[in-house]
């Protein structure tokens, strides 16, 4: 048996060291490759995301299926009908050329299996499906690039940071369900000719999601900014905004819910109009809860619509929470909604020193409730805390 001083012993040890170094390099490359593919996400997170994607995909393809037509069928026939309906729904999402290509690929796969050329057939079918997948991915990449540009433009339309106003603290956030959002928020000074400093607050939600809602949101923002630049009272501004929305709402199909308010720094009063929007929650420093509901129909419904003005006086420690329906309608995997009850529970728990603390608490509560479920609507909140 060779000893430690034997040359063969040294050669064996060198081979073992080389093998260990080689294995470590392969392991490092494998880890690096996995990190690039998974982007640092754990396996359970990847599985949760895949489940959420699969559920969202099923909802997307099944939204046009008449499920009531399958109720009277026998179980085995119902399964076949559902599978056929889902397959047809998938085919309809493809362009005609790709639809024909996919059907020919499936027919070729069946032919090769009948002819017992399974291996060759599977290779060719796999390559054909990868080609089809690459074409769909190319379309998605181009669309995603355009949407990223649209998102950047949309970010320019809303404030990146809240204005600094004496006596109050403001925080806001928005999270689109898709790349672009139909929600709109804003907060900017609107000083009056009489020298009275005022702050205009607005949170709006255009009916629908994604690009159509985002385009209309941009027009609402431009119209509001234009009207706010003139010396109009808040009620006149709301009426003007409604007239503009009616002219661009496709006869009411694209209406906009909105909450518009003006904060008077001298009197510490908030004048507001609620145009069919989720009623903001005013939590008093004493713990009492009030809802700001006065207003009228959503913008874009009726040209000659009338709106009732509301007014509240705020004191130190009062917290105003303005939000879109994406907050209270956020769903978990059981399709249960977050609801106003949970939002009120969250507000009762927190005693924020800053508006940003209240905003973080609300966002954290919604995220904890939803879990890994894919977001289905835009979520926007604006918080005002009186110092």
pLDDT tens across 42-72, in order?
777 777 777 777 777 777 777 777 777 777 7
What is the dihedral angle through the alpha carbons of 176, 164, 257, 196, rounded to the nearest 10 degrees? -170
Q: Tell me phi and psi for residue 103, to 5 degrees.
A: -65, -40
- Sheet strands (E) in the chain: 168-175, 183-189, 198-206, 256-264, 269-275, 281-283, 289-291, 295-296, 310-313, 319-323, 379-386
Per-residue model confidence (pLDDT) at position 248:
78
The C-alpha atoms of residue 31 and residue 44 are separated, in whole angstroms, by: 17
> Is 60 exceeded by the pLDDT of residue 316?
yes
> Is 90 exceeded by the pLDDT of residue 204?
yes
Among 270-279, 321-330, 369-378, which is the least confidently predicted range?
369-378
What is the dihedral angle through the alpha carbons of 331, 335, 338, 342, rounded to the nearest 10 degrees? -150
Record: fold of 162-386: Phosphatase 2c; domain 1 (3.60.40)
The C-alpha atoms of residue 155 and residue 217 are separated, in whole angstroms, by: 12
Q: Please, are residues 310 and 272 in contact by the beta-carbon 8 Å criterion?
A: yes
Tell me the mean pLDDT in the region 316-321: 95
Residue with the larger pLDDT of the pair 150 and 273? 273
Q: Please, are residues 233 and 262 in contact by the beta-carbon 8 Å criterion?
A: no
Where on the phi/psi map is residue 223: left (φ > 0), alpha (ψ -120 to 50), or beta? alpha
The angle at the Cα of 249, spanning 247 to 251, to the nearest 5 degrees, equals 90
Q: Please, are residues 346 and 361 in contact by the beta-carbon 8 Å criterion?
A: yes
The C-alpha atoms of residue 242 and residue 54 are separated, in whole angstroms, by: 40
Q: Please, are residues 233 and 271 in contact by the beta-carbon 8 Å criterion?
A: no
Residue with the larger pLDDT of the pair 315 and 26? 315
The C-alpha atoms of residue 320 and residue 311 are separated, in whole angstroms, by: 13
Residue with the larger pLDDT of the pair 350 and 358? 358
Residue with tokens 């004493």: 286
Per-residue model confidence (pLDDT) at position 186:
95
> Angle, nearest 10°, between helix axes 210-228 and 234-247?
140
> Is 70 exceeded by the pLDDT of residue 251?
no
Among 104-113, 200-209, 252-261, which is the least confidently predicted range?
104-113
Where on the phi/psi map is residue 92: left (φ > 0), alpha (ψ -120 to 50), or beta? alpha
CA atoms within a 13 Å half-sphere pointing along the CA-CB vector of 383: 24
Chain segment 172-190, per-residue pLDDT in tens: 999 988 878 889 999 999 8
The C-alpha atoms of residue 230 and residue 193 are separated, in whole angstroms, by: 10
Per-residue model confidence (pLDDT) at position 196:
64
The angle at the Cα of 234, spanning 233 to 238, to the nearest 5 degrees, equals 120
Per-residue model confidence (pLDDT) at position 309:
97
Q: Please, are residues 323 and 361 in contact by the beta-carbon 8 Å criterion?
A: no
Q: Name the nearest CA neighbour of 169 among 324, 317, 351.
A: 317
Per-residue model confidence (pLDDT) at position 328:
95
């Amino acid at each position: 048996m060779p000893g430690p001083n034997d040359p063969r012993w040294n050669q064996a040890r060198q081979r073992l060291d080389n093998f260990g170094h080689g294995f470590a390099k392969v392991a490092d490359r494998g880890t690096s490759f996995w990190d690039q593919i998974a982007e640092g996400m754990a396996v359970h997170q990847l599985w949760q995301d895949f489940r959420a994607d699969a559920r969202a995909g099923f909802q997307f393809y099944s939204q046009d299926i008449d499920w009531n037509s399958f109720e009277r069928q026998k179980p085995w026939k119902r399964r076949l009908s559902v599978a056929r309906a889902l397959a047809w729904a998938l085919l309809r999402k493809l362009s005609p050329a790709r639809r024909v290509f996919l059907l020919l690929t499936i027919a070729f796969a069946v032919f090769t299996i009948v002819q017992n050329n399974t291996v060759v057939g599977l290779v060719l079918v796999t390559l054909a499906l990868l080609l089809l997948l690459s074409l769909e991915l190319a379309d998605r990449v181009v669309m995603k690039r355009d949407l990223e540009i649209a998102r950047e433009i949309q970010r320019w339309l809303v404030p990146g940071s809240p204005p600094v106003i004496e006596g109050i603290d403001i925080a806001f956030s928005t999270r689109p369900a898709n790349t672009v959002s139909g929600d709109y928020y804003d907060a900017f000074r609107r000083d009056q000719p009489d020298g009275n400093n005022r702050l205009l607050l607005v949170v709006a939600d255009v009916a629908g999601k994604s690009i159509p809602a985002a385009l209309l949101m941009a027009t609402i923002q431009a119209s509001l900014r234009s009207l706010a630049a003139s010396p109009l009272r808040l009620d006149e501004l709301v009426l003007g905004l409604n007239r503009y929305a009616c002219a661009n709402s496709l006869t009411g199909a694209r209406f906009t819910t909105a909450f518009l308010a003006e904060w008077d720094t001298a009197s510490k009063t908030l004048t507001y109009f609620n145009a069919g929007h989720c009623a903001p929650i005013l939590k008093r420093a004493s713990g009492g809860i009030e809802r700001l509901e006065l207003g009228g129909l959503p913008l874009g419904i009726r040209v000659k619509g009338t709106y009732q003005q509301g007014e509240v006086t705020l004191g130190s420690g009062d917290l105003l929470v303005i939000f879109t329906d994406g907050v209270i309608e956020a769903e978990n995997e059981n399709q249960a909604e977050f609801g106003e009850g949970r939002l009120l529970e969250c507000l009762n728990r927190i005693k924020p020193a800053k508006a940003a603390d209240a905003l973080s608490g609300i966002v954290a509560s919604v995220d904890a409730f939803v879990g890994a479920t894919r977001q289905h609507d835009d979520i926007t909140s604006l918080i005002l805390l009186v110092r």
